[in-house]
Structure 1
């Protein structure tokens, strides 16, 4: 009987083990669906997502793309995208132009500055939330369209709502360490909104104090923004607040690398995986190809997709570059400036600086000077990779920063808003750039900065550019780590859920996130120690006095 019982137990165990193996095999064989979501910021915000998705597609994932109307073109070149989901109407061009013009007026956070443009910008970028939330909810409710995992740009708050409401695992891609998260004692002020300095290491007391106090100065506008956001969410029946803790509760991928990003302690679910760049990129074509071949020291100028500098700012840049050409510091300028940016210019006005009286701004843009090439689009990575390119004048967008460091080109920076301001400081601290204030710089400031970086009398700009290039190229392999982490989080999510109920916490989430703050910080333990110390401080002298009195009583008796 005992032998029969043991045999039955072994058979049952074997059957159970076989069933587990079959379940694992089924999960592995099942085509997993990845939904890529990007709604704002242009193609540069979507490309890192597609590069990671490309790796996952090669591993068996089905990839679909959700975006706003007319933005499906962001997936051009990524033929593995099998389906498109339209989350809402496209932003009208005149509304987009007005929004980005307001963003260009953004001032760096300051004690006495107007913080309204900062929060107006956030509101503008979040304007599509109701439509995106509604459309994503419909996708999640339908078993046929529901994804197994969502990989999203950091701007899309509705993806956080999908995680909260439907339990779908997500990863958010940030262009820098997340703003107002992961505080560190050696990083002054609000993380991502520092003023002038990135760390306290070489900061003065006043710089550290300003960074701490600027948050207080922004409180009135922050409260207005939060009030409007609550109303917007309530209009869709959502009363739940977005996560606002010091640590994220989802996988957070950072498209930068330490060396450019400030080294800091991060939890396991926050990982620097940048620069996330394509292995291949478009080659030089005419007219840029002939221009590059015929000029030996080229400055490349590009201010991104959405920076719309006012006429006065562009004139100062033109005047400064004219002086650079006159000095012979460089012999060629390639300037990528798209149609909406050209609209901000007075094309009939005389060109500035050394061009004054010789041609109009419009004539200059149309090829008056053979040493200046203005194009609507330039294959940026091909220009930066060319040995004749010696400097990049940039707004410090995430893609431009990653591409400049990957190709080893030093910069002069004119940052405008959001992460651009922090990126300018990162490049400065890395020793590969000089930064100018977009509101106060003069033509002479620009020509002098360009001259200093190109002439590079100490060799520090070239040396640091090569140093950052070496780090960047090694770090660029981490996009495969990003794909690994997504698969890891997905596997953990699949196996810790039973009937859609989580049986244990996410494996990359640190325990303090799930604990009361006083327990996570051991305040109760310290309070006990303090109480014991206080009791000891009273009890020991009391016992000493008691014994002293007793001895005297015995002696007198």
Structure 2
């Protein structure tokens, strides 16, 4: 009986730690492509025994109400995220870049875009109010005794809810409202830290630095408007008038950054910033039979794949025809993810699909080139699998993402305005296909990406569990989070020292002046 008893005790000891380490995580995701990142992370957390609860709106675009690895809380709301709005903006951008949209119309659309972004955040604010005003739901959440809030701070809902429940907060982050996350938390010298949208590298000319500073202030004004009109009123109502949203939004315990310095330019950072760029990359899985057959039929020439992301459902008809005609001139086979009208010029070497397993294709040795819009997920996957890129950026951070690859010799960028001119698209494809340096440079980036002490996903999971084990990570937070701007930049100290120096310089002058007046004063004769 004793050996059986020992085995039972040993088995119990092995099981207890895994039970004790499991946590209860409340998640406030951002809809759209941001959810793709979050979903991958949640799947791994679930596999490690953690309980996941996702709060979503009733008309969520990407976040579904049923899942095998998490429970969902659906909050009934009137408005939500913006598929039609994004599609309309992209079409206007494409038309403007190609000269088909007048400047006045584009400016009007741009102004409307900023106001619509504020409306999106107002819809997020309505989600927060609907959640906090639901007494039964709030009682259920409080009784669940969560250990942690995990959120993407591109929207402010998770920040407010973490503060309301007084829970440790972890960010899955690249953007905080509309600014790149480093600018919200770390020293960010504008002389070599380019603002997203500037189209600059970390080596800027004088006028590029001027542009960089102007864009910085535009983004600050935009964020100030969103915070003042949307999130600060919510803080005042639910957290108290002394709660400053500007302060609590940078008070997360751990910032899991969806980037790394293989991709981004070197810059200052902070102790509670953890880099997990490429955490979503996985080994390729076998392709569906029809795709595998098509890829293998390419012979020695290989395959080109093209995808412009989830937001771009179609292109102007003449542009799609131009791209299809260019592909038809190549010896390579082409797989093109496109949901628009089938181009009339589509060649026999091109397979058009509504959706393709991008990561699995990029991992196939037959893939020679990736024609991409420059989304962060796709760019990192291309780096992981060492596939060079021809970029067709359209909006937001896409040009800046591709620029980082082009600067490292692993990509070539074309604007939509130049695709149809002088066979530029064909020349770019042939250059990247035939010049070995592009693939060699991408292979070097891939080696750098993979040469890490821990896999990015393991790093992310470790720090999430670290925060749960220690009920936060206050020892990693700099006091700068709590400082007003004039103290952070030592404006008060500079003014004090300036006043002290001026006083030291003026005091002797004033003393000598008074002394001279006293000595040189004429004597008055007394009667």
TM bucket normalised to smaller: 0.7 to 0.9
1:508 has 2:476 as partner:
yes
**Are 2:267 and 1:264 aligned?**
yes
Moved more, 177-186 or 270-279: 177-186
Q: State the secondary structure of the residue aligned to 1:85.
A: strand
Task: Give how far 1:174 is off.
Answer: 2.3
Q: What displacement does 1:415 show?
A: 1.8
Residue 53 of structure 2 corresponds to 64
User: Which of 305, 308, 314 is the equivalent residue of 2:313?
Assistant: 308
Offset of residue 284 of structure 1: 0.8
Asked if 1:148 corresponds to 2:115, the answer is no
Aligned to 2:29: 38
- Determine the C-alpha separation between the residues in 2 that align with 1:83 and 1:157: 22
What TM-score do you get using the length of structure 1 for normalisation?
Answer: 0.73
Offset of 1:167 from its aligned partner? 1.7
1:507, CA displacement in angstroms?
2.1
How far 1:33 sits from its partner (Å)?
0.5
Counterpart in the other structure of 1:446 = 425
Cα shift at 1:75? 7.5
Q: List runs of 5+ in structure 2 lacking aligned partners.
A: 1-15, 98-102, 518-527
Q: Is contact 2:32-2:61 (8 Å) kept?
A: no
- Displacement of 1:268 in angstroms is 1.9
Structure 1 residue corresponding to 2:437, chosen from 437, 460, 481? 460
Report the equivalent of 2:188. 184
- 1:274 aligned residue (264, 273, 277): 277
- Alignment map for 1:154-553 (pairs within 5 Å): 154-175=153-174, 177-178=180-181, 181=184, 182=186, 184-187=188-191, 192-199=195-202, 201=203, 203-214=204-215, 229=230, 243-244=245-246, 248-250=250-252, 251-295=254-298, 296-312=301-317, 315-326=318-329, 328=330, 330-337=331-338, 341-342=339-340, 345=341, 351=344, 355=345, 364=346, 369-442=347-420, 444-456=423-435, 459-474=436-451, 477-493=455-471, 506-538=474-506
- 2:284/2:363 contact within 8 Å kept: no
Which residue of 2 is the match for residue 83 of structure 1?
71
User: 3-state DSSP class of the match of 1:105?
Assistant: helix
**CA shift in 2, pair 1:206/1:520, >3 Å:** closer
CA-CA distance at 1:335 after TM superposition? 0.5
Alpha-carbon distance in structure 1 between the residues aligned to 2:221 and 2:152: 28
Corresponding residue of 1:358: none
- In 2, the alpha carbon distance for the partners of 1:113 and 1:225 equals 21
After TM superposition, give the deviation of residue 453 of structure 1 in Å: 1.2
Partner SS for 1:173: strand
Structure 2 Cα separation of the partners of residues 184 and 153 of structure 1? 21
SS of equivalent to 1:65 = strand
Q: CA deviation at 1:39?
A: 4.2
| Unaligned runs of at least 5 residues, structure 1 | 1-24, 356-363, 495-504, 550-557
Indicate the residue corresponding to 1:52 in structure 2.
41
**SS in structure 2 opposite 1:168?**
coil
1:186–1:59: structure 2 CA closer, same or farther, 3 Å change rule?
A: same
Q: Distance in 1 between matches of 2:225 and 2:489?
A: 32
Q: What SS does the corresponding residue of 2:432 show, helix, strand or coil?
A: helix
Report SS of the residue matched to 2:305: strand
